[in-house]
Structure 1
Amino acid sequence: MGKRLFLLIATNILVMVTIGIVLSILPIGSYITASGNIDFLSLLAFSAVIGFVGAFMSLAMSRWMVKMMMGVRVLKETDSLSHMERDLVARVHRLSRAAGIAKMPEVGIYKSREVNAFATGPSKNRSLVAVSSGLLQEMDNDAIEGVLAHEVAHIANGDMVTMTLLQGVVNTFVVFLARIAAWGVSRFVREDIAPIVHFIAVIVFQILFSILGSIVVLAYSRYREFHADNGGADLAGKDKMVHALRSLQQYTNRVNTEQASIATLKINGKGKNMLFSSHPDLNERIRRLEAK
């Protein structure tokens, strides 16, 4: 889920900045009064519209974005698939039916040596489960089953939509605070260049506050990972889910610290990295599952 979430956050920031630039150029959603002060109620309404539109646009684009940026090859049952690929599709569909998902997710593979998998999509019925070629090479069948069950649990739990609603709230505060800060900065420059300073400051503060806001989104992501682990254990069995996490742990231990951080995108984040990690510490995830 790590790479998918980081792509979603990056897409959200890009969409938000683009919407902000367009609306700053067009005479829409004015929140500055004739006296030059801020109408906070108008600004809050303006911020909420931008914030939630940006979040839901990012969600709508999520499946397309990851396919394009990561080169995911969608496995279609009508295509000529290898035995391994057919088995992968069959597993995801079997787990999805067990999770009560009505429309089967798309299943894809992307070429990468990293051990990774993710689920994405705007809804339960328009979802995608993708795995890296490295995961299929590194993990045995039981570990793969646990990983797939974990990703299907994310879909069944509606984590993408829940994350989008949270992102919408965060976006609202980002837009609101960025424009207040930009207005404050523009008050300290000459009147003739104040609009230009305000325009540039809005973009800078919006990017900065979006990065800070992602800390909240990532913290919630770490919380949801424990629920997906539990859901994966219910679908595939606790032993397979624990085995999948231990297999991932063994993989990260075989590479040096720098390579592990890149290869797993902080899915075993700890210490200073935890704040910007999308996944909690593997040891804690294993401990909680074993205590289940």
Structure 2
Amino acid sequence: MKRVLLFLATNLAIIIVASITLSILGVGSYLNEAGTGLDLQALLIFCFVFGMAGSFISLLLSKKIAKWSMKVKLIDKPQNSREEWLVRTIEKQAKDAGIGMPEVGIFEAQQANAFATGANRNKALVAVSSGMMQRFDQAEIEAVLGHEVGHVANGDMITLALIQGVVNTFVMFLARVIGFAVDRVILKNENGLGIGYFVTTIAAEIVLAILASTIVFWFSRRREFRADEAGARFGSRQGMIGALQRLKAESQVPNQLPESMQAFGITGGKKKGFKALFMTHPPLEDRIAALQNMTD
């Protein structure tokens, strides 16, 4: 129920923000004055506003979504030595990384995982699964926490939102150009925007969004190598390698992070062939090899 309400609220917020912004910019219809062609400048502004709005509203809500969907227990006051160590470790790493102290939490999941999220690098959230806390040793957990702090310090969440916003913009823009061309050239409609435009636009958006998402996933994979380096720096290289090796040994355990959160976890599973283009994380073998070849 919470997810449905959040989905509706997000879409309503996008409509409100986009409508206000478009009114301020004076953008109404993206048909030209004669109604015979597209006003490409107006269309690009329209798509940019809606594309960026959706991406950044999702980013602004990312911490709330993570807390709700993963039932994260925030550690405001450590209840035991393990929690106290967790908070102190992240506090030290955040200071070394030059960012504000993130919120710290634990979520119930047997799978070993961790994630970081948040729109502000000085007000982020770092959470680790109960399974990882139970089975990994301190050096491995410290490296994983450094990996997540590295994501925050590198501004990965914001950069990912920017890339997603740009991708959204061009997907919407090209889909509408294709829809207009089909409506006018193939279906010979000359009165406004016909049903062919809307059907073609929706179909084109789906196809283009799938193809364009490979760009987002490519960036997501590249940033994991930098975050691994941060894990080695804020923890230890051997600890980071050990954590990845343990994750590889446990790779048969299903990923318990929701689809929307998997890009921010420590591992995103393994896919082969064409599906590998849609992986949020590189293969663990490649990440281990990169750390082993890393120069001090």
Q: Report the TM-score, using the length of structure 2 for normalisation.
A: 0.80
Native 8 Å contact 1:268 1:280 kept in 2: no
One-letter identity of the residue aligned with 2:277: L
1:228 aligns with 2:230: no
One-letter identity of the residue aligned with 2:158: V
Query: Which of 129, 132, 141 is residue 132 of structure 1 equivalent to?
Result: 129
Which residue number in structure 2 is paired with residue 218 of structure 1? 217
Query: Matched residue pairs, number?
Result: 269
Tell me the SS of whatever aligns to 1:123: coil
One-letter identity of the residue aligned with 1:141: Q
Superposed CA deviations along residues 216-259 of structure 1, whole A, max 9, x for unmatched, are: 1111010010011111111112111111111111111xx3xxx5
Superposed CA deviations along residues 145-200 of structure 1, whole A, max 9, x for unmatched, are: 11111000111111111111111211110110122233234442877895455445
Which residue number in structure 2 is paired with residue 279 of structure 1? 281
Tell me the SS of whatever aligns to 2:247: helix
Percent of pairs identical after alignment? 40
Q: How many angstroms apart in 1 are the aligned matches of 2:181 and 2:12?
A: 21
Pairwise CA distance, 1:92: 1.2
Which residue number in structure 1 is paired with residue 244 of structure 2? 245
Pairwise CA distance, 1:201: 4.7
Superposed CA deviations along residues 23-46 of structure 1, whole A, max 9, x for unmatched, are: 6xx996311122331111221122
One-letter identity of the residue aligned with 1:269: K
1:138–1:214 distance in 2 versus 1, CA, 3 Å: farther
Native 8 Å contact 1:105 1:128 kept in 2: yes
Query: Which of 146, 150, 153 is residue 153 of structure 1 equivalent to?
Result: 150
Pairwise CA distance, 1:204: 4.6
Q: How does 1:86-235 map to 2 (within 5 A)?
A: 86-101=84-99, 103-187=100-184, 188=187, 195-196=194-195, 198-199=197-198, 201-235=200-234
1:135–1:201 distance in 2 versus 1, CA, 3 Å: farther
Pairwise CA distance, 1:142: 1.5
Over the residues paired in the alignment, what is the CA RMSD in angstroms?
3.0
Native 8 Å contact 1:100 1:156 kept in 2: yes
- Gapped regions of structure 2 (runs ≥ 5): none
1:196–1:18 distance in 2 versus 1, CA, 3 Å: farther
Q: How many angstroms apart in 2 are the aligned matches of 1:69 and 1:189?
A: 48
Q: Report the TM-score, using the length of structure 1 for normalisation.
A: 0.81
1:289 aligns with 2:288: no
1:201–1:131 distance in 2 versus 1, CA, 3 Å: farther
Which residue number in structure 2 is paired with residue 3 of structure 1? none
Q: How many angstroms apart in 2 are the aligned matches of 1:192 and 1:82?
A: 70
Q: How many angstroms apart in 2 are the aligned matches of 1:16 and 1:245?
A: 41
1:111–1:204 distance in 2 versus 1, CA, 3 Å: farther
One-letter identity of the residue aligned with 1:60: L
Native 8 Å contact 1:115 1:263 kept in 2: no
One-letter identity of the residue aligned with 1:281: P
Q: How many angstroms apart in 2 are the aligned matches of 1:17 and 1:174?
A: 21
Pairwise CA distance, 1:16: 10
Q: How many angstroms apart in 1 are the aligned matches of 2:127 and 2:188?
A: 51
Tell me the SS of whatever aligns to 2:127: strand
